[in-house]
Amino acid sequence: MSHYSVWSVLREGLRGQTGWERAWRDPEPKPEYDVVIIGGGGHGLATAYYLAKNHGITNVAVVEKGWLGGGNTGRNTTIVRSNYSQPSSTQFYEHSLKLWENLSHDLNYNVMFSQRGQLGLFHNPAGRDAAAKRANTMMACGIEASLLSRDEVMNMVPHLDYSENARFPILGAMLQKRAGTARHDAVAWGFARGADNYGVDILQQTEVTGILREGGMVTGVETTKGTIRAKKVGVAVAGSTGHVMRMAGIDRLPIESHKLQAFVSEPLKPLLDCVIGYGAPGAHFYISQSDKGGMVFGGDLDFYNSYAQRGNLPIVQDVAECAMAILPCLGRVKLLRHWAGIMDMSMDGTHIMTKTPVDKLYLNAGWCYGGFKATPASGWHFADLIANDRPDNLTAAFSLDRFERGLTIDEKGMGPTPKLH
């Protein structure tokens, strides 16, 4: 693999861009690997990368039924933050944020991580209390957070709706300065190139059709390109978790599949230099502006179980209303595209990273709205779980048996109703 640098850009500029190599190989599957990862999204590729980098396990295959990052990695609103109100979650996402901060250098691939800051608006005294509690939890975990007054928000983003008759009057906001956005495709590609450089085989257009087991232990996978034997198998297929785990005889999980839409507008001149989000009864919205100028935004789930990767119109209207409620200047902007990804909505709104009842089969699932920002830490800790066959301190809380033991991590206090998390 050739190293990307300013010199390689200059050299190729002089050579008419003729010397660039493929970023990763397209190998045929070997008959056996030490570890097979099912799912070539950000999480699966990051897992393969950290298995090789942190644990020296390079005889690894990532098996992907479509193309890299074609699932939720390419279907999100690219926001990265670590402002959660449950300590185990905020610490996990903080580790992720720290990895994001050096990811472009680590991968030698520009993931365009931009720490432009995220404002979480609040609109009533209860919202202020919740924001203060969240900021306090973060600070207790050593993560910087601040509460801004209405005037400070006005200084920072003058074009929100601060009028007398605003639908959601803005009382202030919680700011996480280190939050931001990243280029989603580049994350998948960067991890793929990094993993491939260590010798990991990335097998695209290879669908897993069965998970092989002998005596309660996993022994490999059946794929559309033949049988691949493996000493260990990791599943990172959020959205299709139930479908894939059924192949291993695990029929029931604390997860429902729901679809979440995202939207991008036509490109605009620079309009918004931070990420803004808000949640109020009946409204949920988050928006940022991409480097190409498109306004990238999203809102709530479609609110019914679905595996269809396409959105429904009532939510388009809901999200448009949410946008107009805080950024009325968007009223004449045209929508360019909208799409939907399938979320693993877990029963407590928090992800699952665990060993399973099948020996040497590991599960990484249940990311709800939070999968993209988790990508590096998810790969880091899932690789650790697979390599050492035990959860580390940061992941022990995200076990599959936490529900039965009454140790749910319910960020919003919604109870076991996946669509509400």
Partner 1 sequence: MIRIKCPFCGIRDHSEFSYGGDATVEYPPLDASTEAWNEAVYQRANPRGPHREYWHHLNGCRSWLIVERDTLTHEVGTVEFAHPGLSEALK
| Binding interface with partner 1 (CB under 8 A) | 240, 242-243, 251-257, 303-308, 312-314, 347, 403-404, 416-417, 419
Question: Nearest distance from residue 302's CB to partner 1, in Å?
Answer: 9
User: Strands 118-122, 60-63: parallel, antiparallel or unpaired by DSSP?
Assistant: unpaired
- Cβ nearer to partner 1, comparing 254 with 370: 254
| Residue 112 vs 414, nearer CB to partner 1 | 414
Closest CB to partner 1 among residues 224, 417: 417
The least CB distance from residue 240 to partner 1, in Å, is: 7
CA distance 395 to 162: 42
Helices (H), 77-215: 87-101, 103-107, 125-140, 150-156, 184-197
Return the number of the residue (82 or 240) whose C-beta is nearest partner 1.
240
Which of 243, 106, 178, 145 has the alpha carbon at shortest distance from 373? Answer: 178
> Nearest approach, Cβ of 347 to partner 1 (angstroms)?
5
Q: Which is nearer to partner 1, 240 or 290 (CB)?
A: 240
Q: Please give the C-alpha separations between residue 69 and each of 45, 50, 75, 245, 257, in angstroms, as whole numbers.
A: 9, 17, 9, 20, 18
Q: How far is the CB of 227 from partner 1 (least distance, A)?
A: 24
Residues whose CB is less than 8 angstroms from the CB of residue 31 and which lie 6 or more positions away in sequence, other chains included: 227, 228, 229
Provide the 3-class DSSP secondary structure of residue 159: coil
For the CB of residue 59, give the shortest distance to partner 1 in the complex, in Å. 32
Quote the least distance from Cβ 242 to partner 1, whole Å: 4
Instruction: Output 64 or 384, the one with its CB closest to partner 1.
Output: 64
How far is residue 45's CA from residue 368's CA, in Å, rounded to a whole number? 19
